[in-house]
Structure 1
């Protein structure tokens, strides 16, 4: 019998595959967050969060997800750039359920079809793109641990696209997003510079994101790459999801707050010669 379920691809390698172990780990790092219970958390409309193994980026993610504790959303739209399979366009998944060690989450298939039919030459179902990719999957346990039950998700993976893809995607999603939906952009920051270089580069990246300054962000990327910083391959690995989020935030007058930053050099192994940066940002709708 085909249950139409997408099962975890990176449990154990990116996060614990045992339900109890995963639940205990999340409980611990979420309890360490600096989040406070206040009325602002109810206005959170989007997050930028990393997607590395929890040992590296879990605490940066926890600072963001802890702000959602007890909140209720209809659908969580999770955006990321594909890391495991190369393709053109934007990939949806035909499975009706995504499973993590903490349980199952339904896909909002109505929203998926509405998204696909808005640009059928660009957006289509491509299960193989999602099959072994981690950038969306690693967000599920955090969502299950913090949100009230009853939400659905819509996983959206970007492949190879024109530079203006975020503009088109933002226009489509703006017509679909409801007041009780949540938007998540999954992206790590600097890739492989030294510890100190990553700190300096990522500081400017996060400043541009918090200021919702698309032009400033793109200028920072160009200027940094011209400097030929040793081993800096990319300032962020989820450009299309991040830029789509920034465009929607601009359209809707959202504000943003940086919640956490670290890089892999801060992890237990403290290898600081070549690091990856991790930041989390919350986006708020004015009350």
Structure 2
């Protein structure tokens, strides 16, 4: 058992707190059809981070693409939802625990990033302690991947516009082809379900096209249109843009896998929703 462990903050709330309940729920969420052998191995995913009863089926569509694969390190990227800080927070623990067990952190990659850019990358267990956006991804990984992988959780705090480009430079210098990137983000927040469907469709198409400039124009335009209830087009901007920038430089190809919103859940309120999308990025 690792000595220095980050314990789960949202088990029993965003996802079940009992291992048997987690596995039963994941078994229901995953489509057990074998993935197509003609697809290149995924290099990155974008997956949602809401409670599994709302977004679990969409998240499963993303994680299904890596079923049974082996990765050395899964780099988890998200924008902080539970703390305010500058730069990018790296978690200092040796492992993260979920009800399904422990997953080690890649201490070597963490050290290399902090050595490369100590003003940007800062170790902060407090930044990660209560945040759900990366934790909710971990049971999916434990369930679907071959054992033996590490994780590197990164949370973006307050950063200058375009700061994702520096993160991209640094990640490209430390990652290998044996690693996987995951950006954690939900889509539109609080429009009606009808408005969300058109907004989210455009957002996902721009993400799949690796079009960061187009995504920024789209985000600005929908805010200026004053869509009733809308607060944001997507809530993981730095995380998503880092994946898109890496994909653009690497020549990856994006694919939209799924999209739904909280109004689709049983008893969901369609007048004010949060939306969820899943994408996969592969080498061309």
TM over 0.5: yes
State the 1:231 CA deviation: 1.2
TM-score (normalised: structure 1): 0.96
- C-alpha separation between the residues in 2 aligned to 1:99 and 1:275? 31
Q: Match for residue 260 of structure 1?
A: 258
- C-alpha separation between the residues in 2 aligned to 1:122 and 1:144? 29
Report if aligned partners of 2:2, 2:94 keep a CA contact under 8 Å in 1: no
| Structure 2 residue matching 1:39: 3-state secondary structure | coil
Q: Match for residue 198 of structure 1?
A: 196
Deviations 1:127-169 (A, max 9, x none): 1010010000000000001100010000000001101111111
- C-alpha separation between the residues in 2 aligned to 1:92 and 1:197? 36
TM-score (normalised: structure 2): 0.97
Q: Match for residue 163 of structure 2?
A: 165
Q: Match for residue 224 of structure 1?
A: 222
Please list every run of at least 4 consecutive aligned residues from structure 1 whose deviation after the TM superposition is greater than 6 angstroms: none
Q: Which runs of no fewer than 5 residues in structure 1 stay unpaired?
A: none
Q: Which runs of no fewer than 5 residues in structure 2 stay unpaired?
A: none
Q: Does residue 211 in structure 1 map to residue 215 in structure 2?
A: no
Report if aligned partners of 2:41, 2:66 keep a CA contact under 8 Å in 1: no
- C-alpha separation between the residues in 2 aligned to 1:248 and 1:179? 13
- C-alpha separation between the residues in 2 aligned to 1:172 and 1:62? 29
Q: Does residue 46 in structure 1 map to residue 44 in structure 2?
A: yes
Deviations 1:78-105 (A, max 9, x none): 0000000111111011100001111110
Deviations 1:24-47 (A, max 9, x none): 110111136xx6422245520000
Q: Match for residue 236 of structure 2?
A: 238
State the 1:249 CA deviation: 0.2
State the 1:273 CA deviation: 1.1
| Structure 2 residue matching 1:76: 3-state secondary structure | strand
| Number of corresponding residues | 284
Q: Does residue 250 in structure 1 map to residue 240 in structure 2?
A: no
- C-alpha separation between the residues in 1 aligned to 2:93 and 2:66? 26
